[in-house]
Structure 1
Amino acid sequence: MTCYAIGRLRNVEMGAEIVAYLEAIDATLAPFEGHFIIHGGKKHMLEGTFVGDLIVIVFPDNAKAQAWYTSSAYQHIKALRTKNAEGEVFLIDGVDADHRAADILSS
């Protein structure tokens, strides 16, 4: 099942370290078949407030997402982000195309 790495980042210091992180991250994703589907961008708020940027990276499954995050290649650049931005990062599994909202009631 598809898995997503979600990041909500705030107070990003756009200096040399973040630039180095951005230049290096794509190479860390490739071996695990990961790629960006959302990377910041203009938000059109419909309800509530949202501060910061949303980043979503898709992987074929949770195992590949976990393997990417713990890989030496990603761990090598991770501090470039964490020292220069605040936020939350987590993995979450997607649902099948036939999923319906009420399906969670039987879980």
Structure 2
Amino acid sequence: MPAYVVLTREHTHDAQEMERYGEKAKAAREGHDPQPLAFYGDFEVLEGSAMEGAVILRFPDMAAARAWYESPAYQEARKHRFQGADYRVFIVDGLTEA
């Protein structure tokens, strides 16, 4: 069953830290091969808090999504995200494809 990692950027504090995060996060995807379904494209908030952008990554399953998130390379990248912006991040199980 596929799993999705959803990242919503709520507020940027430091653009330089976000640049570092972007470089390191891209490198951290290597070997994990997530499928980007949405990547900071145009959006409209219909309900809830304002946000600046969102990313949705598809993985084969929850274990693969956690392996990417918990990888040393992503943990290193994540430090810069914490310094650069406020995010909400979660993993959700997808539906079995018909």
Q: Equivalences for 1:1-107 in 2 at 5 Å?
A: 1-13=1-13, 15-44=15-44, 47-52=46-51, 53-98=53-98
Q: Distance in 2 between matches of 1:48 and 1:75?
A: 31
**Bigger-Rg structure (1/2):** 1
Gaps of 5+ in 1: 99-107
Report the TM-score when normalising by structure 1: 0.78
SS for the counterpart of 1:97 is: coil
Shift of 1:71: 0.6
The answer to which structure has the higher strand fraction is 2
CA shift for structure 1 position 97: 3.1
Query: C-alpha deviations, 1:49-77, integer Å up to 9, x for none?
Result: 55112211111111111011111011111
| TM-score between both structures, scaled by the size of structure 2 | 0.85
Cα deviation digits, residues 10-56 of structure 1 (max 9, x gap)? 111352211111122122112112132212222245x4355112211
- In 2, distance between residues paired with 1:85 and 1:57? 19
The number of equivalent residue pairs is 97
Query: Distance in 1 between the 2:3 and 2:92 partners?
Result: 6
